[in-house]
Amino acid sequence: MQAESVFIASFVLLVLSAAIVRLVISSGGLPSIYSSLIYIPLAIVGLLFGFRAGLLFGIITAIAMGPFTLSYPFIRDNLISTGWIFLLMSCAFIPVTTGLVSSTLKTTIRQEQHAKFRHQETGLPNIKALLRYFKSLSKNPNLSDESLFDIIDIRLKNFDAIQQKIGPEKAHKLVKLMAQQLSELLGNQAHIGQASDSELIGVQQASEKEHHSAQSNLKEYLQKEIQAEDGTSYQLDPSASILRVNKRQLTESSQDVLNRSRERAYRVKDSDDILSFFDESKPAKQQSSFSKQFSDALINNEMSLLYQPRLSTVTGQFESLEVSSRWLHPSRGDIVFSEFSSMIKENQLTKDYLMWMIESCFMDLSEFTQQQRQPKVSIDISLGEHVEPNVLYALANKIQTTDYPPTRICIEVLDSALMNLNPKTRTHFEKLHNVGCNIIADHFGEGFSTIQSLFKLPVDAIKLSDELIHSAASNSDAKRQLASIVKIAHAKGLRTIATGVNSKEKLLLLKHIGCEELQGSVLTPPVLKEALPWERIK
């Protein structure tokens, strides 16, 4: 198309040049003082249409003004045979020069624009390019306002460790390779971009009927290793969130949609889950309130408990199971606990959720007991800065009525919540501790508590925060700080537990500094009770 345009423009200019020459002939010649003005249109042609069209126009103009045409006798005093050769060279040189300058400028501008919308290391579309793509969908006549789109945000938890191991260049090649594989998996209509070194974002048109199979395929892919060009396989340890929106939402508030997608992906990354799905495509007025949905979920058995084994670095076996949950939503698919925990707190459903979790957990424990199994379980009873006394009472009642050994029950509480215990709640904790329950200070390192302050409370173990562990894996000062915390905890008689162990490097680091229990996706993800690896559970 561009070549055709140049040809047509050149033809028009040829006709123009012939007309100009004819005008010169009919007017009796061109005064030498004005003869140099002929170079101005030549320069303009080179700038506008490029050096090829400029060269053609220059040669045609020089020939038209040369001794081979009728115009030659009418050109006054300024042309001899050698002068015409100079004219020919000038008519060719000027438009070629301006054309090359124009081409260079256009290429530079094009490269700057390209770089503006590309990730520096991989060349993949960046966030600006993704936002531009979102807005471009509004111009697609084949899409209605209610057309569905899935935004897939993938976080690569192990990217930093792999980058340190194989170098930045090879690590970025792995990310680019993963983007290509995702594009093949999602289909030709998918648009894959890169938000940061360790974050890929894909956008594809969605289907209500196929979202379960699409989730299954993506989840299966995320669990596979990536094979580099040299044949070496690497586990980037990815996790992903899928946010479903309609075209209207995507085009009218693209930045907000992208921010929500990235926030959800960040939560999934911190939760040891692989994939979560959330549907925002339906207008709020068409959705029932969260409280109603949650109540229906409990009645319809849409909620299920998950158990994530913790590895003992002393025995090499799984010695306890942390209790979590998932919600198999009828329209949104699998929703992990980290996705709806904030909604539980906002709607003041914390007590209802914890009561359900305790009831369901002890039903499973009764089933395990009948199978001649009594695993140690760890139950998180705090979703905020305060602990409900009624929840502790319900837990104590279950321990008493089921005869499950209290020594096999661990109670996890945020370290900040432990520091804010009121007298009544503290009494309940002390009673549970006295009968043998283990008390664990969760997310230690995020609040203002210290081991010395926790030692005054009925605490048996500290669960190190993900932030502490992540920093220690890549920073020598943070590593020394973490080792010091573990050492002091041992001196105070407290066990140390690490969560978020999502790479072999973190696993080896935590074993080296003496952390007793490890939990994370590199060991095993949270699973349903039917999938527990009993042969490795002590």
pLDDT tens-place string over residues 196-250: 888 999 898 887 656 667 777 888 888 888 888 788 888 888 888 888 888 888 8
- What does residue 371 show for φ and ψ, rounded to 5 degrees? -90, 15
* 79-105 mean pLDDT: 72
Give the Cα-Cα-Cα angle 17, 19, 21 (nearest 5 degrees): 70
Structure tokens at 469: 């562990």
pLDDT at 309 over 80: yes
Q: How confident is the model at residue 313 (pLDDT cuts 50, 70, 90)?
A: very high
Please, how many CA atoms are within 13 Å of residue 460, restricted to the half-sphere of its CB?
17
What mean pLDDT do residues 165-184 have?
89
CA distance 424 to 76: 113
3-class SS of residue 111: helix
- Domains of the chain and CATH, by start: 2-116 (no CATH), 121-284 (3.30.70.270), 301-538 (3.20.20.450)
Query: So what's the pLDDT on residue 97?
Result: 83
**105, exposed or middle or buried, with CB in 10 Å at 0-12, 13-18, 19+?**
exposed
Percent of the chain with pLDDT over 70: 82
Residue 8: its pLDDT value, please? 59
Give me the half-sphere count of Cα atoms (radius 13 Å) on the Cβ side of residue 190: 20
pTM metric for this prediction: 0.57
Mean pLDDT of the chain: 81
| 77 contacts: CB under 8 Å, gap ≥ 6 | 32
**pLDDT greater than 70 at residue 183:** yes
